[in-house]
């Protein structure tokens, strides 16, 4: 299977390439895994979109602690939203 990729632009106009795979996909969630951001490996991100929630949640695990990704202006959140849109379109 070919790895997927997304290009994200920062507020300053810098281009960032993310490459990744998707696993454990079901009707309400999936995991973005094997994330490579310009040569830097990043922890997996679980994307959940429960029917009763107004917004999806993006949770990463840094050293075994769950970390919610909430900064709407961060390149990581932009990446997560692009992946979510891509996966909803399939």
Tell me the CA distances in angstroms from 42 to 27, 50, 55, 90, one per residue in order. 25, 25, 23, 24
What's the CA gap between 57 and 75, in Å, rounded? 16
Res 89 pLDDT > 90: no
Res 12 pLDDT > 90: yes
pTM for the model stands at 0.89
3-state helix vs strand vs coil in the chain, percent to 5: 15, 45, 40
Q: What is the pLDDT of residues 27-84, one digit of tens each?
A: 899 999 999 998 899 999 999 988 888 889 999 987 778 899 999 899 999 999 999 9
CA-based nearest residue to 58, from 70, 42, 50, 41:
70
């Amino acid at each position: 299977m070919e790895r997927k990729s997304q290009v994200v632009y920062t507020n300053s106009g810098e281009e960032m390439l993310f490459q990744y795979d998707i696993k454990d996909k079901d009707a309400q969630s999936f995991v973005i895994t094997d994330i490579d951001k310009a040569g830097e490996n990043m922890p997996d991100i679980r994307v959940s979109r429960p029917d009763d929630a107004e917004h999806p949640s993006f949770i990463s695990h840094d050293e075994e602690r769950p970390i919610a990704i909430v900064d709407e202006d961060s390149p990581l959140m932009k990446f997560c939203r692009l992946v979510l849109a891509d996966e909803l379109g399939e």
